[in-house]
Structure 1
Amino acid sequence: MPQRAIDTRVNPSDEIIATKGLTVRFLLTGDDSKGSIAAFELMVPAAQRLPAPAHSHDHYEETIYGIDGVLTWMVDGKQIDVGPGQALCIPRGAVHRFDNYGGEDAKMLCVITPAAIGPAYFREVFGVVDAAAGGPPDRARLAEIMRRHGLTPAVPPT
């Protein structure tokens, strides 16, 4: 059986996916790494809140490395600020979300191991956010997309 040629160029999956200021730039996907890793830049404008609900994932770790600005992460109820040169590993099963409460745009490198999520997830979620035309996105639709891509939406507090 012939072996598939491996793409050894820099940023083989260079793709930008954006909505309302929130931007994801995929660098590597599971297709580029035989499923071992996905990596993307996450850019969040100043004073931007995440439009999707808090969530967890049981099949992969998510490691965040700060490049510019500060994102405030909530991980299992604990607030953690991640700034330039800092890394945060979000373990499997931990409920988390982020917001940019600061006055400066934030840029993070996100690494998913193994590569259980890719650009298709962000294309779908950002489509729902765009369809909301400035209003709140359809939370039921977001939850369905999240579940289909291996994320578990957190139950909102009562």
Structure 2
Amino acid sequence: MSETIQFGGLELRFLRDKAETGGGLTLFEMTVQPNARMPVPHHHEGWDETIYGLAGETTWRIGGEDVALGPGEVVFIRRGVVHGFRNDGTGPARCLCILTPGVLGIGYFREMAALVAAGAPDPERMKEVMLRHGLVPAP
């Protein structure tokens, strides 16, 4: 599988989806443009995230603390921990994202990209999509 989805300063290139791995993992490479960020800080109960830095630097807000992630560095986000990310740099940053088990699939990202492409997304609609796919927006 190789599908790329772009929205809001993010580009996600899917390498493996939950359907291909029998729910074992979801794997994608993410490019974060300068000044881009995760639209909504959130947590999830159904999977953990491991993020491996490939290029540039992103800042991950994990459980209320900022953690810088550069090439060759890794962060682990346990299920239930509120998190988000941003790129404060002047160039794009890339990282490899591994979701285990592979509960979240590419469908979530397709839906979010469609909402963003339609114009200023309705926060309630975004929340509904997130909750339906197992992501819980932070209060």
- Name the residue aligned to 2:55: 68
Give structure 2 stretches of 5+ with no counterpart: none
Separation in structure 1 between the aligned mates of residue 78 and residue 11 of structure 2, nearest angstrom: 23
Structure number with larger C-alpha Rg: 1
Give structure 1 stretches of 5+ with no counterpart: 1-12
Offset from partner CA, 1:42-93 (integer Å, 9 cap, x none): 111112233x210000010011000011111101100001110001010010
1:104, distance to aligned residue in structure 2 (A): 1.4
* Percent of residue pairs identical: 41
SS for the counterpart of 1:126 is helix
Given residue 61 of structure 2, which amino acid in structure 1 is its aligned partner? M
2:66 is the alignment partner of 1:79:
yes
Offset from partner CA, 1:13-46 (integer Å, 9 cap, x none): 2100112431111100111111111100111111
Separation in structure 1 between the aligned mates of residue 113 and residue 82 of structure 2, nearest angstrom: 21
TM-score (ref. length: structure 1)? 0.85
2:28 is the alignment partner of 1:34:
no
RMSD between superposed Cα atoms in Å: 1.0
Separation in structure 2 between the aligned mates of residue 139 and residue 110 of structure 1, nearest angstrom: 25
SS for the counterpart of 1:121 is helix
2:4 is the alignment partner of 1:16:
yes
- 4+ residue stretches of structure 1 with deviation over 4 A? none
**What is the aligned residue count?**
139
- Name the residue aligned to 1:96: 83
- Name the residue aligned to 2:94: 107
SS for the counterpart of 1:120 is helix
**Higher normalized contact order (CA 8 Å, seq sep 6+, divided by chain length):** 2
Separation in structure 1 between the aligned mates of residue 137 and residue 9 of structure 2, nearest angstrom: 23
Given residue 139 of structure 1, which amino acid in structure 2 is its aligned partner? P
